[in-house]
Amino acid sequence: MKKRVFALFTAMFLLCGMLAGCGPTGSSSTTTDGSDDGAKDTLIVAIPESPTYMDPMVQASIGTYRVTTQMFDRLVMMDNDMNLVPGLAESWEVIDDTTTVFHLRQGVKFHNGEEMTSEDVKYSLERCIANPGVNYNYLIIESITCDDDYTVTIKTSAPFNALLYRLSLDAASIICKSADTSAEEFNKNPVGTGPFKFVSWELGGDVVLEAFEDYWGGAPAVKRVIFRTIPEALNRTIGLETGEVDLAYDLGITDLESLADNASVTTLTSPAPPCGMWA
């Protein structure tokens, strides 16, 4: 069996759910190392640039989103085929051209043990809209109303058929309202509902996450994920070959060619989404 798994993504959003043992679509884990029990307790992920924040609503940054998408969920998610699927909202209804009602999953837990409610959703989306670093995708939202603890109505100022796609982006992550005592503190101790929860981060160094056993989509098969910044593509490739890392992003074309005949490494590629999708 192959000893390690490597994935190359030109669209950072596709990592969402991949590391979890059971993601939103019920997909199986891709982190087995070929050992007898098929389980790998810790996954080391080589990334080309460090995250700048642990808060997904500060600024648009691929380096940040690669990590934060493991800690936070959105109302609507995308599967690996770029199809919209239920996330924290188990269903939704389009009432008219400007009104959509979202029905939230009940019993969803934040990493601090609190239950997610409509108040957290309203707070998170209004926080996103208020932040100039990420709000350009959400200024069309006119109002967000909590109809009850598990129902949220979003109205836009004009007909907008891309609303669900925008709500699937990391900037629209749902955070724990009570944990956001200040922007600085939340960045140090981010609290979401995602499959992995925050452990530690040194600026420019490793980011360590651990499995959230109470994840609504099922406990992750991998119990610990370490994001390691390795700027040079060649060194990320060498890390795969030597087994120092298990998964790496953005390898060079020549590196991919050199790995083609390596039976212990699997390469996966995916095209980037259309430019306008995330604009």
**Domain extent listing, the chain:** 12-278
The pTM of this model reads 0.82
- pLDDT per residue over 192-202, tens digit each? 999 999 999 98
> What pLDDT is attached to residue 39?
59
Q: pLDDT grade, residue 269 (50/70/90)?
A: confident
Q: Give the type of residue at 202.
A: E
135: Cβ contacts below 8 Å, ≥ 6 apart: 128, 129, 171
pLDDT above 90 covers what percent of the chain? 67
Identify the three-state secondary structure at position 188: helix
Identify the three-state secondary structure at position 151: strand
| Nearest residue to 56 (alpha-carbon basis) of 230, 139, 172 | 172
Average pLDDT, the chain: 84
130: Cβ contacts below 8 Å, ≥ 6 apart: none
Identify the three-state secondary structure at position 104: strand
Q: pLDDT grade, residue 35 (50/70/90)?
A: very low
Question: Could you tell me if 17 and 79 are in contact, meaning their C-beta atoms sit under 8 angstroms apart?
Answer: yes
Pick the residue with more confidence: 40 or 225? 225
- CB burial of residue 166 (10 Å; 0-12, 13-18, 19+): buried
CATH topology of domain 12-278: D-Maltodextrin-Binding Protein; domain 2 (3.40.190)
Rounded CA gap, 6 and 183, in Å?
34
> What pLDDT is attached to residue 7?
33
- pLDDT per residue over 194-246, tens digit each? 999 999 998 778 999 999 999 999 999 999 999 999 999 999 999 998 999 99
Between the alpha carbon of residue 2 and those of residues 8, 20, 255, the distances in Å are: 17, 20, 19
Backbone CA torsion sign across 251, 259, 238, 28? positive
Residue 19 has pLDDT above 50, yes or no: no
**Residue spans of alpha helices (H) in the chain:** 62-68, 118-130, 163-167, 183-188, 233-242, 253-259
**What's 239's DSSP letter?**
H
